[in-house]
């Protein structure tokens, strides 16, 4: 499964919008997930990142937004239907640890 340029731009915007809604500092999220700064930026920009990592960050951000009592920005490309298709290309995404 690969995204075209327009889908990458949209997905990156959706990831960033949900990052803002978490209310958690970017560095804290990055460290929770075990990504270096450069790798996290690649993931957030959906540019040259491992697709499984993009899904992992997507899921973690969504969990954090819900935990903050907010409504996540919906994903137009990284939908649950797309997850089923993506899992044919790579193993199921390992979930991030839950916050305290």
How far from 16 is each of 32, 43, 85, CA to CA, in Å? 17, 11, 24
- Per-residue confidence (pLDDT) for residue 5, from 0 to 100: 86
Distance CA 97, CA 81 (A): 23
- Reported as a single tens digit per residue, the pLDDT across 68-82 is 999 999 999 988 878
For the chain, which residues make up each domain, given as ranges?
A: 5-86
Distance CA 61, CA 14 (A): 10
Mean pLDDT across 57-63: 95
According to DSSP, residue 33 is labeled: H
Q: For the chain, what percentages of helix, strand and coil (3-state, to nearest 5) are there?
A: 60, 0, 40
pTM: 0.85
- Per-residue confidence (pLDDT) for residue 74, from 0 to 100: 96
pLDDT score of 4 more than 80: yes
Per-residue DSSP letters for 48-68? S--HHHHHHHHHHHHHHHHHT
């Amino acid at each position: 499964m690969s995204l075209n340029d327009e889908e990458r731009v949209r997905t990156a915007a959706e990831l960033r919008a949900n990052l803002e809604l978490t209310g958690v500092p970017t560095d804290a999220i990055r460290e929770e997930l075990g990504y270096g700064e450069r790798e996290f930026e690649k993931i957030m920009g959906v540019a040259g990142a491992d697709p499984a990592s993009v899904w992992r960050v997507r899921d973690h951000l969504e969990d954090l937004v819900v935990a903050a009592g907010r409504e996540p920005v919906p994903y137009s490309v990284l939908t649950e239907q797309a997850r089923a298709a993506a899992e044919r290309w790579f193993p199921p995404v390992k979930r991030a640890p839950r916050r305290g």
